[in-house]
C-alpha cells in the first residue's frame, strides 16, 4: 500500500476533486439559489481556485520542510488558520466586486462559517495526504540510497577479493617460470603460453556476475596445466564431473582458490606422487556441489601462508548469497590399518 500511496499524484487528484466541488456549488447557486451566472461562477470556481492555490502553497512548503515526527494537532491548527485566511480573502474580493448586491452579501454572511469548516476539512485532508505521500517517497529514496550504497560496497569488496587472487597466483607461477628458464626452457615457454591464455580468459570474465560452469572448469584446467608443468609427474588430477553441471551458471573465481589450497597442502613438503580428486554434481536441492580433496600428512609442518584462499571464497559467498554455510572444510583421518593417508576436503555449495 505504501508504494501505491507514494505513486499517487495528490495535486492532480485534488484538482479534479475541487473542480467537481466547484461544479456542484455552481449548480446549487445558479439553479437553486437563483444567483446570476457571473455571481455563481465567481463564488464557486473562484473560491475553489483560490483554495487550490493554497494547496500548491502547502505542497511547496512540505517539499522543502517535512516535519518529523508529524504533529497531528499542529497540522489541524495550521489548516484552520489557512482556512480562515481563505475565507477572508475570498470574502473581501467577492464582496468588493458585488458590493451593491445585497442578496449575495447576506448569503455570504450566512455561509461564512460553513465555508470555513469546509475549507478546514479540505485543507487538513490535503495536508495529511501530502505529508504521508512525501514521507513515503522520502523513506523510499533513503531505502534506495542505502541499498545502492550497500551494493556498491559489496561490489567494491568483491572486486578487491578478485584482484587479490591474481597476484597470489602470479607470484608462484612467475617464480616457477624463472626456475625453469635455465634447466627446461621449453617447459618455461609452455608455461608462459598457458599463463597468457589463463590471464586472457580471466580478463574476459572480469566484469561478469556469473559464468557457465564449463567455462570456469576450462580456466581451472588451464591453471592445473600450469601447476603440472611446475610439479611434473608428482601432480595427478582425477576428475569426476557430472555433465549436468556444465550449463549451470556460477560466480566466477570461486573454484581456483580451492584448487590452489589443495595443491599447496597436498604437494608442499612431499616428494612423491599426489592425487588430487575433483568432483562436481548438481544436488537434488538445486545446489551445484564442488568438492576437492587432497592427501595431507598430519604430522608434517603445514606450509606457510595467510589462509587467504579459503577465506576469500567464504567471504565472497557471504557477500553474494548472505550465507556462511556454503563452504565446508574437513580433515578426514583414515582408520589405522586401512590406509596411511589422511585427506583434506573442501566442499562448496553454489546456488544455481
Please tell me the distance from the alpha carbon of residue 60 to that of residue 134, in angstroms, as a whole number: 11
Give the separation between CA 326 and CA 157, rounded to whole angstroms: 19
pLDDT tens readout for residues 90-122: 999 999 999 889 999 999 999 999 999 999 999
Average pLDDT, the chain: 82
Q: Which residues of 187-215 are buried (b: 16+ CB within 10 A; e: fewer)?
A: bbebbbebbeebeebbeebeeeeebbbeb
Q: What is the percent of the chain where pLDDT is above 70? A: 84
Lowest mean pLDDT, pick from 57-61, 68-72, 280-284, 337-341: 337-341
- Over residues 303-315, the mean pLDDT reads 68
Q: How confident is the model at residue 164 (pLDDT cuts 50, 70, 90)?
A: low
Residue with the three cell numbers 476539512: 121
For CA atoms 75, 78, 83, 84, give the dihedral sign: positive
30 contacts: CB under 8 Å, gap ≥ 6? 37, 40
Phi, then psi, of 334 in degrees rounded to 5: -75, 145
| 54-58, 81-85, 147-151, 165-169: range with highest mean pLDDT | 81-85
Question: pTM for this one?
Answer: 0.56
Question: What confidence tier does 306 reach under pLDDT thresholds 50, 70, 90?
Answer: very low
* Domains detected in the chain: 2-147 (no CATH), 184-351 (3.30.565.10)
Lowest mean pLDDT among 44-48, 256-260, 327-331: 256-260
Strand partners, 238: 277
Q: Is the pLDDT of residue 268 over 80?
A: no
The confidence score (pLDDT) of residue 157 equals: 64
With cut-offs at 50, 70 and 90, classify the pLDDT of residue 176. Answer: confident
Provide CB contacts within 8 A for 34, sequence distance 6+: none
Express each pLDDT in 123-163 by its tens digit: 998 888 888 888 888 888 888 888 877 777 776 666 665 65
Give the pairing of strands 211-212 and 327-332. Answer: unpaired
pLDDT of residue 231: 80
User: What does DSSP say about strands 274-282 and 235-241: parallel, antiparallel, or unpaired?
Assistant: parallel
pLDDT (0 to 100) of residue 1:
43
Segment 216-247, tens digit of pLDDT: 898 888 888 888 877 878 889 999 999 999 99
SS3 sequence of the chain: CHHHHHHCCHHHHHHHHHHHHHHHHHHHHHHHCCCCHHHHHHHHHHHHHHHHHHHHHHHHHHHHCCCCCCCHHHHHHHHHHHHHHHHHHHHHHHHHHCCCCHHHHHHHHHHHHHHHHHHHHHHHHHHHHHHHHHHHHHHHHHHHHHHHHHHHHHHHHHHHHHHHHHHHHHHHHHHHHHHHHHHCHHHHHHHHHHHHHHHHHHHHCCCCCCEEHHHHHHHHHHHHHHHHHHHHHHEEEEEEECHHHCCCEECCCCCHHHHHHHHHHHHCCCCCCEEEEEEEEECCCCEEEEEEEEEECCCCCCCCCCCHHHHHHHHHHHHHHCCCCCEEEEEECCCCCCCCCEEEEEEEEEEC
- Does pLDDT of 193 surpass 50? yes
Q: Which residues contact 26 (CB under 8 A, 6 or more apart)?
A: 40, 41, 43, 44, 45
| pLDDT of 303 above 60 | no
Judge contact between 120 and 83, C-beta under 8 A.
Answer: yes
Encode pLDDT of 179-189 as tens digits.
788 888 888 88
Amino acid at each position: 500500500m505504501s508504494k501505491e500511496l507514494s505513486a499517487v499524484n495528490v495535486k492532480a487528484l485534488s484538482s479534479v476533486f475541487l473542480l467537481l466541488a466547484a461544479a456542484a456549488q455552481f449548480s446549487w447557486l445558479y439553479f437553486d439559489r437563483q444567483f446570476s451566472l457571473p455571481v455563481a461562477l465567481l463564488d464557486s470556481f473562484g473560491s475553489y481556485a483560490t483554495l487550490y492555490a493554497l494547496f500548491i502553497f502547502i505542497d511547496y512548503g512540505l517539499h522543502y520542510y517535512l516535519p518529523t515526527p508529524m504533529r497531528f494537532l499542529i497540522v489541524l491548527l495550521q489548516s484552520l488558520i489557512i482556512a480562515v485566511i481563505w475565507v477572508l480573502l475570498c470574502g473581501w474580493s467577492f464582496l468588493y466586486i458585488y458590493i451593491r448586491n445585497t442578496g449575495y452579501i447576506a448569503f455570504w454572511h450566512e455561509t461564512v462559517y460553513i465555508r470555513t469548516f469546509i475549507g478546514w476539512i479540505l485543507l487538513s485532508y490535503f495536508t495529511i495526504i501530502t505529508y504521508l505521500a512525501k514521507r513515503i517517497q522520502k523513506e523510499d529514496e533513503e531505502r534506495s540510497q542505502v541499498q545502492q550504497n550497500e551494493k556498491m560496497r559489496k561490489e567494491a569488496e568483491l572486486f578487491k577479493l578478485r584482484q587479490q587472487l591474481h597476484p597470489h597466483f602470479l607470484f608462484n607461477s612467475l617464480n616457477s617460470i624463472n626456475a625453469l628458464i635455465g634447466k627446461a626452457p621449453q617447459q618455461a615457454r609452455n608455461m608462459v603460453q598457458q599463463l597468457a591464455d589463463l590471464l586472457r580468459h580471466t580478463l574476459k570474465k572480469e566484469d561478469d556476475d556469473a559464468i557457465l560452469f564449463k567455462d570456469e572448469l576450462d580456466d581451472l584446467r588451464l591453471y592445473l596445466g600450469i601447476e603440472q608443468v611446475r610439479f611434473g609427474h608428482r601432480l595427478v588430477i582425477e576428475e569426476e564431473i557430472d555433465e549436468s553441471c556444465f550449463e549451470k551458471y556460477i560466480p566466477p573465481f570461486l573454484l581456483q582458490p580451492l584448487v590452489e589450497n589443495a595443491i599447496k597442502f597436498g604437494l608442499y613438503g612431499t616428494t612423491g606422487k599426489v592425487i588430487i580428486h575433483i568432483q562436481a554434481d548438481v544436488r537434488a536441492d538445486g545446489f551445484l556441489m564442488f568438492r576437492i580433496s587432497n592427501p595431507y600428512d598430519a604430522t608434517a609442518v603445514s606450509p606457510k601462508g595467510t589462509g587467504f584462499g579459503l577465506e576469500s571464497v567464504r567471504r565472497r559467498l557471504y557477500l553474494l548469497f548472505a550465507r556462511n554455510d556454503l563452504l565446508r572444510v574437513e580433515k578426514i583421518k583414515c582408520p589405522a590399518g586401512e590406509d596411511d593417508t589422511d585427506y583434506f576436503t573442501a566442499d562448496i555449495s553454489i546456488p544455481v
